[in-house]
Amino acid sequence: MNEDTPPTCPFNSPRPASEGWHDAKLDFSKSMSYGDYLQLDTLLAAQKPLSGEHDEMLFIIQHHTSELWMKLALHELRAALLCVRNDELDPAFKMLSRVKRIFEQIVTGWNVLATLTPSDYTLMRGSLGSSSGFQSHQYREIEFRLGNKNEQMLKPHAHRPELHDALATVLAEPSLYDEAVRLLARRGFEIDAARLERDWTGPTVYDATVEAAWLAVYREPRRYWDLYQLAEDLVDIEDRFRQWRFRHVTTVERIIGFKTGTGGTSGATYLRKMLDVVLFPELWQLRTQL
């Protein structure tokens, strides 16, 4: 070797340009491609900024991706609820674990939207009209599935009967936590009969017999291991859901301060009130008693 030639890494020797992909399928004129399978033409054509401002694309994609993650979260929550109802906890654990990861993804997504400055948002806000994340039917179903129910939240969907009726059905059904409480009763714990047949359209309300049952589970986790794991999964989900709410309100505050929201709510003030909502009260309260 010429002494003027710099040494090279032996693992970086030149390779044929085609190496690694020369057997890959390149002709998709008669078969399904990646874009076909994912319907990318439809997906990528859904971003239609109205303001002409550069940052509106960020705003739209942030909310599109959140809705896609929520669609998957609901897919898992619906299935997990049925598994708990049928005493099939092992598959439910995997589904609930996935929901936790999805919520983490949504929380992380706020970091991207937080790059939108107040000046940026002001330029495009008028294009939103009265649209608001408050009107997301998927977010509302997630809340209903987790037990935060409010019949008034059906009203923003009255103009879409199919969405209104679907949400009304979820409102009237037991939540995931209601099914967990019913499971406790089936396992022999003494749960107040009124709690087991309550009006499912109302929010979850603290019940002393439910706390006593969960407390027994936590005092003997080895004896009730699957119930103990279910309880901790529920706490994990609420923990991440709270983080989602908190990240939402802080992002709103840094972009619009305390202005009224586009959908007519009090904006950050409303979102801060939502931070006080507790989904699974007995699971948090029992920790004081242990």
Going by the annotation, the residues of the binding site for heme are 248
Annotated binding residues, written as ranges, equal: 59-63, 121, 125, 248, 262
DSSP 40-103: HHHHHT----SS--TTHHHHHHHHHHHHHHHHHHHHHHHHHHHHHHTT-HHHHHHHHHHHHHHH
Helix 176-186 / helix 225-256 crossing angle, nearest 10 deg: 160
Nearest 10 degrees: Cα torsion 257, 63, 109, 166: 110
Annotated binding-site ranges for substrate: 59-63, 121, 125, 262
Structure tokens at 78: 């619906």
Inter-residue long-range contacts of 181-189, CB under 8 Å, 24+ positions, other chains counted? 181/207, 181/210, 181/213, 182/85, 183/84, 183/85, 183/87, 183/227, 183/230, 184/210, 184/213, 184/214, 184/217, 184/227, 186/87, 187/224, 187/227, 189/213, 189/216
